[in-house]
Homo-oligomer: A and B are copies of this chain.
Amino acid sequence: MKIAIAQLNFHVGNFAGNLAKMLDAVKTAKAQAADLICFSELATCAYPPRDFLEFDDFITTAEQTVKKLAKAAKGIAIVVGSPCRNPVVEGKDLFNSAFFLADGKIKQVQHKALLPTYDVFDEYRYFEPASDFQVVEYQGKKIALTICEDIWNVGNNNPLYTICPLDEMMAQKPDFVLNLSASPFNYNQASTRIHVLQANAKRYKLPMFYVNHAGAQTELVFDGGSIVLSPNGKVYDELPYFEESVRCYELAEVEKNKKHQERKKDKMTLIHDAIVLGIKDYFGKLGFKKAILGLSGGIDSAVTAVLAARALGKDNVRAILMPSQFSSDHSVNDARALAENLGIQYDVMPIETVYDAYLGVLKPHFWGTGFNITEENIQARIRGMLVMAMSNKFGNILLNTSNKSEMAVGYGTLYGDMCGGLSVIGDLYKTEVFELAEFMNRDAIVIPTNTITKPPSAELRPDQKDSDSLPDYDILDEILFQYIEKRQGPKAIIKMGFDSKLVKRVLRMVNINEFKRHQTAPVIRVSSKAFGMGRRMPIVGKYLS
């Protein structure tokens, strides 16, 4: 039996577009004499459809899409993920299902049993878990259909669920496993995924075909990297990351345990490519082409600009340099040098006259008060407003340049430098931004060396440095990582050897700035715990010790 797996870039709610892509892939697979082609989870409507699933005619359109696809299932079987109505009145109204299509019809449906409801996942919000498990018989083979999380309750020592769907199916003696996934990227995910697949192969001793989605939906990047595994747990083949791909496999060959094709997964390469795809799909799927951003001469906006130019092309990125009386000469020069290295258009707009106009209006009301963070915020907000004005006038989307460290501790101005439609590097700690900058410069200098080597500064008052208000980023980022990614409380972090006062100060900053993060752009997720939909913290909460 010849099995094709199709890792495609779907678009949420774009049924016609998604169907067209699948029909194309069916043609490709047929041309290679495949007996079966498998698409990813919820391929008809794309993952994650979120509350669109609560609309009856969204589900109807998904059903119609499956039916249209079924008509192409002649001379080939098709496995596709799509929502399915639950005919039983008790329980949720939908299942998250794998449809087996053959002879022009829907032949069988297997629902997903394990519904991830943690971090960025909300599946039990919509779906009833499967309670019935039936392998599919096709051309003399028995196929175990599983959907993403269904195989993830194996191989970890704190299983989230009380059952394993493949355990339930083993009595029916399947010949191989298909897994339809939509598994979002983080920089550890590719390794974790292979570990989980190997744990399954070890337990069930079956060939596994894991088909992932490849494409970004707002904050989530689905990285592809679909995998074919031999029954001994060796990687038979791995599809490319971050791009579409359709490949065919002879089942008998996969069963032979011969090849071993695991690819190296370098953290910075993965992050770089994930963010580039995240930007590209955000713009492409919204129907926009052009980005704008403020360039300060600092490292955050520099790295953001490079990523944007690579995602959208240099002609589609425009930079605005907005010096004030507090800006150093090198800032403007560094920003200019970067823009020239990238070949992107840039404009200079000094902000002093607007700043003075604000101070003039506020003077009678500010009587008796001195320069403080208010005046710093005014400068950041003028810059935000100027780039937003350019964005409104010329129709380009403003890219936010905040990093994860400053978003965490609130070292940024709401409605100022926190403006933007998409946060590009908001899931990278400052130390990771430096790493990424070095990575970008590894073959040739793109980011001016001075941008990387000078001490970070917001330049909102004379001789300001980040280190005036914040601990060194090396230490700060480690504390933040423990609190955010590892969900360690203050006691546990102090126990690791960090200064107790410092830990409490940092955690307090993170907590009291929840209100700012609530109002920021979606962040392209590259870590296992990004700000946004995957981290849901109370704003008026008090916990800290």
Contact = CB atoms under 8 A, between A and B. Distances in A.
A193 to B, nearest CB: 21
Nearest to A219: B539
Nearest to A366: B393
A545 B218 contact: no
Contacts of A492: 56-57
Contacts of A353: 357, 360-361
Contacts of A414: 388
A543 B58 contact: yes
Interface string A153-175: 00001111110000000000000
Contact of A536 (B14, B50, B58, B285): B50
Contact of A377 (B392, B421, B488, B536): B392
Interface string A350-377: 1101101110111001100100111001
Interface string A515-545: 1001111100000000001011111111111
B285 A52 contact: no
Interface in A5-61: 11-14, 17, 45, 48-52, 54-58, 61
A491 B533 CA distance: 30
B393 A369 contact: yes
B55 A543 contact: yes
Interface in A486-518: 487-492, 515, 518
A384 B358 CA distance: 12
Interface in A144-190: 157-162
A535 B51 CA distance: 7
Contacts of A55: 487-489, 543
Nearest to A419: B415
A519 B531 CA distance: 13
B378 A361 contact: no
A430 interface: no
A474 interface: no
Contacts of A90: 159, 161-162
A385 B217 CA distance: 32
18 contacts: A12-B541, A12-B543, A49-B541, A49-B543, A56-B487, A56-B492, A89-B157, A91-B159, A122-B125, A217-B540, A349-B361, A349-B362, A357-B357, A369-B393, A374-B393, A381-B385, A519-B519, A519-B521
Q: Which 5 A-B pairs have the closest CB atoms?
A: A13-B543, A57-B489, A357-B357, A374-B392, A12-B541
Given A14-B543, A374-B393, A377-B389, 14 more contacts: A13-B542, A13-B543, A52-B543, A61-B545, A89-B158, A91-B162, A92-B160, A217-B538, A347-B365, A354-B357, A354-B361, A362-B393, A385-B415, A519-B521
Interface of A: 11-14, 17, 45, 48-52, 54-58, 61, 88-93, 117-118, 122, 124-125, 157-162, 217-218, 281-282, 285-286, 347, 349-351, 353-354, 356-358, 360-362, 365-366, 369, 372-374, 377-378, 381-382, 384-386, 388-390, 392-393, 414-415, 419, 421, 487-492, 515, 518-522, 533, 535-545
